Structure 1
Amino acid sequence: MAAQYDAVIVGAGFGGMGAAIQLHRLGHRRLLILEREDDLGGTWHVNRYPGLAVDIPSATYSYSFEPNPHWSRLFAPGAELKQYAEHVAEKYGLRPHMRFGTVVTGAHWVEEESHWRVAIAGGDSVTATYLCTATGFLSQPKVPDIEGIEDFGGKVIHTTAWDDDYDLTGKRAAIIGTGATAVQLIPEVAKVAADLTVYQRTPIWVSPKPDYRIPPRLRRLFARIPLAQKVVRAVGSGLLELLMISGVVHYRRLRIANRIAERYCRAHLFRQVRDPELRRKLTPDYSFGCKRPTFSNTYFRAFTKPHVHLETSRIERVEEQAIVTADGRRTEIDVLLLATGFNLWDVNFPAIEIIGRDGKNLGKWWRENRFQAYEGVTVPGFPNLVSLNSPYSYSGLSYFTTIECQMQHIDRLFRAMRARNAKVFEVSQQANDRFLELMRDKVGDSVFALGQCATANSYYFNQHGEATLLRPTSTRNAQREAVRFPLSDYTYA
């Protein structure tokens, strides 16, 4: 039987939309984009906590082929990212392909029909020649396993399910977590809460945020002369590559870049926090880059306010009206805010059950044979599967670098199929093994292998202690390989 769709794409965030745009360019019109939320945008639809903003310069956080001249700030607020997602969907005609409030429970390859059958909650299923998973890296919220948390009598809010109707004004608040989300949230809560206690397991490297309002005159210039914004994008990307990526990925050769970034962050902390004991608590004891760093001009200052307290003792339990730490300290609170991030390695990779050829279970295979994917896109034993959030796929700091590399890979692969009059592709085991060995070798030059990462508690590392999320090469290498990988690394039928 013929498949109902050319491709089913799971996820309507920027990754899923990028895949849909590329497939549409290749002539595939029968597309179905399935999204569990009630609208598009992925993380920029789900997240709406106070202070939400992109944590890298906005000019680098967009499709290169669809620049946005209308960012209001260098680091755009989250609402503008949602608006940009809506603009892309409208311009490229993606909304008619989207089905919201639809939870995909799994997918399996039907060998006899050479297509994927995708199961949907409620008993329905659809079939497609190609399956693209774009469920995102940060899509499965993590709730901390703390004794008594389910019995807390006050309000509990996870940052991915923010309650806009709950007023924090005058409340005694607690925030668990000091990652990139908390860095944005804490200063905003500190403005309105009567008392705020922040529970920190691991400090974070924070550098100054060169954020400023983009004048309307400059925005009009970007709209009229797109090349001007492309130059800004190139400069921003180059600086991020130099300061953030070079000292992390090329740590063995460019350890000095890592040291400069670390000292830059230390100087920022010193300028904003004069209390040496508080400064000591806020200073990471792991190498820069082991955990994703971030930018902020207000995070450190928040802890200098008299009603904001930093707690570094382990949480022993949560009571009906309080949090108790391991040293016996009891803090009464009204609201508990969870900035505890996402569970990547236990319930993601993949986010749904995927069964390939001969009953091969992708999640089980990854966990038993190392997390791996050829060029961060395809996996042997899973024909016609494009896995967009895969091990070794994330390149650079901007997610759009990753998305566009994968779009280029799709373009080259699908054109090769067309030239061969084929409809089925599968990466060879040999090509996959060669790529995996290359990635493992290059990780050996990175801060993840040579730095002090043991105390970082970083989501970059999987449950086996391997850093398999980021591609350990320059973004230029990732872009080059996306358009040059050997076509013979695939079989076609």
Structure 2
Amino acid sequence: MTSEQFDAVIVGAGFGGIGAAIQLKRMGIENFVILDREEDLGGTWHVNHYPGLAVDVPTTTYSYFFEPNPNWSRLFSTGAEIKQYADDVADKYDVRSHMRFNTTVEGARWDEEATAWQVALAGGQTLTTRYLITATGFLSQPHTPDIAGITGFEGKVIHTTAWDDDYDLAGKRIAIIGTGATAVQLIPELARKAADLTVYQRTAIWVVPKLDFRFSEGAKRLFRRVPLAQRAIRAVTDNLYEFFIWVGLHHRGLLGRRLNIGASDIAKLHRFLSIRDPELREKLTPDYDFGCKRPTFSNSYYRIFTKPHVHLQASGIERVEADAIVANDGTRTPIDVLVLATGFDLWEANFPAIEIVGREGRNLGKWWRDTRFQAYQGVSVPYFPNYLSLASPYAFLGLNFFNTMEYQMRHMDRLFAEVKRRGATTFEITEDANTRYLDRMTELIGDSVFTVGNCASSRSYYFNPSGEPTLLRPMSTRSAIKEASDFPLTDYQIA
């Protein structure tokens, strides 16, 4: 069978893959394909559609900088609106025509003789490409907890990443495992329908009030007619988030400590005003510093636990039976529905999401685990020519994925322009440049809340299996974008 040949293959049709495709088109590369295992684009915003789904970053900030959306209905828009935004951008920039859905990529291997990547698809087909870009996202591999008896449960099981819209929850006895950001959005919605709801909490989460509001039709018209007005609002939300991330998380000086204490005090006051029962408040109080684990916003999460049919179980789960859950304190709770808000296998199954074998047979996943999780500028790895990983260690900037995408697109622009200028066929980050970057990231992370704060009990996905907080890039958005625009081209071997 003759392999199809492309200039570039992008794995993943979420916002990362869409952004990479737009950048390729800007650089005049049209012979590329975007592969996704799902039946539609949007990544996590296509897969997730559970009740209450909304963005937890203001939508004035949560969008491509070059493509503002004047039609957001509110400051924190719904998942359906975010998905529509993905559709609109893909259509506007003509990247949908490059997409192939229901296509599972099993792995990729660098062919040194052909100086190209061989991309293996489920079903046996192989694609050949000059460049390989993985945009598989950070939250793409659902996690099912390893709890005794869970596979023997005879009722309805729903994972939040595979929500059954046709199943009627009204009047059911529901248990939900997990109290992360997804659960904070979902639990109030479940409580409105359930006859009885039990929330199984492993780790309490910091929750602060959500200052949300609707955009009037007049505001939308203003945004459409005067785009600078929307950009001004974005500047405010961008800078506020940047300040909190940079000072509160990455710069653990006196101001950073005071900011974290202030944020935790807001969450503490929010709990106090919502819940009068001191024992219940105590169970919902995190025992780690604010920022160690992604905090979230909600005006209803704490209050929902005051309802008589909603119960918090914080002792842990001993086992799941055919029709019930038995907690570690011996409480047996009969249930009809088990909801898993248990997150994702971020490190074990996502770094990388597919098997990638580079030069001299180096396996990326094995190399990361045998050495340390690392990637130059959050995108490049030595021994992996012509490869960019958009979901890498030290890639993610704070709370907003689009800031990450902006610097990655600029990195692509600078790198590919130099390859074209030289008439070269390959690029590869040098080991020396990669090591220097890793040493700098290690030094910077040493001043963050993740290193000097009390994070031991947070069970945060920011930390890799070795206990290093290597998910986040410990610098400001401005600094990351500047580096993407002027990094030394000599850091790459271009031939």
Q: Place the TM-score, normalised by the shorter chain, in its bin.
A: over 0.9
* Alignment map for 1:118-157 (pairs within 5 Å): 118-157=119-158
The DSSP-based 3-state class of the residue aligned with 2:136 is coil
- Verify the 8 A CA contact 2:4 2:126 in the aligned structure 1: no
- Name the amino acid aligned to 2:414: R
RMSD over aligned CA atoms reads 1.0
Write the deviation string for residues 6-57 of structure 1: whole angstroms up to 9, x where unpaired. 1000000000000000011001000100000000000000000000000110
Aligned counterpart, 2:483: 481
The DSSP-based 3-state class of the residue aligned with 1:37 is coil
Write the deviation string for residues 237-271 of structure 1: whole angstroms up to 9, x where unpaired. 11112224421111235221111111121111111
Aligned counterpart, 2:40: 39
- Verify the 8 A CA contact 1:251 1:445 in the aligned structure 2: yes
- Name the amino acid aligned to 1:278: L
Q: Measure how far apart 1:2 and its partner are.
A: 10
Write the deviation string for residues 271-315 of structure 1: whole angstroms up to 9, x where unpaired. 111211111111101001100001111111111111000000110
Aligned counterpart, 1:272: 274
Aligned counterpart, 2:204: 203
Write the deviation string for residues 46-95 of structure 1: whole angstroms up to 9, x where unpaired. 00000000011011100010000100010000000110000011000011
- Name the amino acid aligned to 1:125: T
- Verify the 8 A CA contact 1:378 1:387 in the aligned structure 2: yes
Rounded to whole Å, the distance in 2 between the matches of 1:282 and 1:479 is: 38
Aligned counterpart, 2:20: 19
**Runs (5+) with no aligned partner, structure 2:** none
Aligned counterpart, 1:281: 283
Q: Measure how far apart 1:418 and its partner are.
A: 1.4
**Runs (5+) with no aligned partner, structure 1:** none
Matched, 1:438 2:437: no
- Verify the 8 A CA contact 1:244 1:261 in the aligned structure 2: no
Rounded to whole Å, the distance in 1 between the matches of 2:247 and 2:333 is: 43
Rounded to whole Å, the distance in 2 between the matches of 1:66 and 1:360 is: 38
Count, aligned residues: 493
- Name the amino acid aligned to 2:417: R
- Verify the 8 A CA contact 1:199 1:310 in the aligned structure 2: yes
The DSSP-based 3-state class of the residue aligned with 2:182 is helix
- Verify the 8 A CA contact 1:2 1:113 in the aligned structure 2: no
1:429 aligned to 428, 431, 440, which one?
431
Aligned counterpart, 1:111: 112
Percent sequence identity is 64
Aligned counterpart, 1:374: 376
Matched, 1:360 2:354: no
Rounded to whole Å, the distance in 1 between the matches of 2:57 and 2:250 is: 18
Structure 1 runs of 4+ with >6 Å offset: none
Rounded to whole Å, the distance in 2 between the matches of 1:218 and 1:463 is: 46
Rounded to whole Å, the distance in 1 between the matches of 2:57 and 2:328 is: 36
Q: Measure how far apart 1:131 and its partner are.
A: 0.2
Q: Measure how far apart 1:3 and its partner are.
A: 7.3
- Name the amino acid aligned to 2:288: Y
- Indicate the larger mover: 378-387 or 244-253: 244-253
* Alignment map for 1:343-422 (pairs within 5 Å): 343-422=345-424
Matched, 1:180 2:184: no
Rounded to whole Å, the distance in 1 between the matches of 2:45 and 2:396 is: 18
Rounded to whole Å, the distance in 2 between the matches of 1:77 and 1:222 is: 19
TM-score of the two chains, using structure 1 as the length reference: 0.99
Rounded to whole Å, the distance in 1 between the matches of 2:478 and 2:275 is: 38
Rounded to whole Å, the distance in 2 between the matches of 1:268 and 1:423 is: 57
TM-score of the two chains, using structure 2 as the length reference: 0.98
